[in-house]
Amino acid sequence: MASIELPLVSVVTPSLNQGQFIAETVNSVLSQDYPRLEYLVVDGGSTDKTLDILRCYGERLHWISESDNGQTAAINKGWRLAQGEIIAWLNSDDTYLPGAVKRAVSFLQAHPAVDAVYGDCDYVDGEGRFLRAYPARPYDYVELVRSAFDYIPQPATFIRRRALESVGHLDESLHYVMDLDYWLRLGVRHAMTYLPERLATLRLHQTAKSIQQVGDFPAELIYTYQRLFALPDLPRSVREIETEAMSNVYYAAAYCAFWSGRPQEARHYGLLAWRRYRKFRRLLPLIAMGKLGLIVAEKWRGNPFDPHAA
């Protein structure tokens, strides 16, 4: 197929002081074997070596550097500048695996009714060494809502522009769960599908936001779900699982608070989870024990937010 017939794919990378990783990220995009690729790096005013690295690529990518309102705002800025029919974002410490863009586009071309596709993803450490596979699974919108667990790996996700124009951009009030919030909003009206092929890596390291600030996730997760269930046009199949879904949300909030060393907050969320849906969960007794429970849990299974945890 001639390249002129292929859709333009726009990839946006938000960046701020990720000089130790960004060259690997950029190289993983520019080395893709897909001929119609637009790449934009939206930098928030880095003061490390990031800008020197970006200058080395010349006209092979487009980049801007100016102060902004954080990662989510940077992604939206890039998406507004992007011209592609297919849109994605890749954080400045993550990478695409070889052939990722081509495989995603081929899938979307073969399935014109699908508005977004995601593949498999590997967790890697700060040195790029494999840690474990991201727990991706086949797409089921009702199960995604029910579980309150984001099994869709953001670095391995590609979205059609028509879905972006319908759903809108990321919610800039969110800094931690903006991807899950987007999948929930998208899934109400648009088809999303799982492609069981490895497309990307997601880096876990001690300075990563998902490691350092896990205690800030609960408020955003609860807000996201409360807003979802306030929608007037939710499918009946989703409305029917609200009680169980909100229980899982509060359990996830308790889990994050627990592992961030906030036992009283964890007990509060754990009680809310139990009241809504009295289903036994292994961690709830430990959450109820507070600091002692945290000590027991760390010895029992280790902190799941440790990037080197198995």
Output the pLDDT for position 31.
98
Q: Return mean pLDDT, the chain.
A: 89
Instruction: Decide the pairing of beta strands 116-124 and 130-133.
Output: antiparallel
Q: What are phi and psi of 194, to 5 degrees?
A: -95, 130
Domain map (residue ranges) of the chain: 3-210, 213-301
Residue 6 pLDDT > 90: yes
- Of 30, 34, 10, nearest to 161 by C-alpha is 10
- Of 245, 143, 140, 233, nearest to 191 by C-alpha is 140
Instruction: Decide the pairing of beta strands 157-160 and 116-124.
Output: antiparallel
Percent pLDDT > 70 in the chain is 85
**For the domain 3-210, what is the CATH code?**
3.90.550.10
Output the pLDDT for position 229.
97
Write down the residue that tokens 């990720």 correspond to: 18
Rounded to whole angstroms, the Cα distance separating 207 from 157 reads: 23
* pLDDT tens digits, one per residue of 248-290: 899 889 888 887 888 888 888 888 887 787 665 655 665 655 5
Mean pLDDT of 178-190: 97
pLDDT category of residue 227 using cuts at 50, 70 and 90: very high
Which residues make Cβ contacts (< 8 Å) with residue 20, sequence separation at least 6?
Answer: none
Token readout for 162 is: 């028509």
Token readout for 184 is: 């929930």
Rounded to whole angstroms, the Cα distance separating 216 from 214 reads: 5
Output the pLDDT for position 264.
83
Mean pLDDT of 144-151: 95
Mean pLDDT of 223-230: 97
Q: What is the DSSP letter of 82?
A: -
Q: What is the DSSP letter of 298?
A: H
pTM score: 0.89
Token readout for 180 is: 């899950």
3-class secondary structure, 140: coil
pLDDT category of residue 2 using cuts at 50, 70 and 90: very low
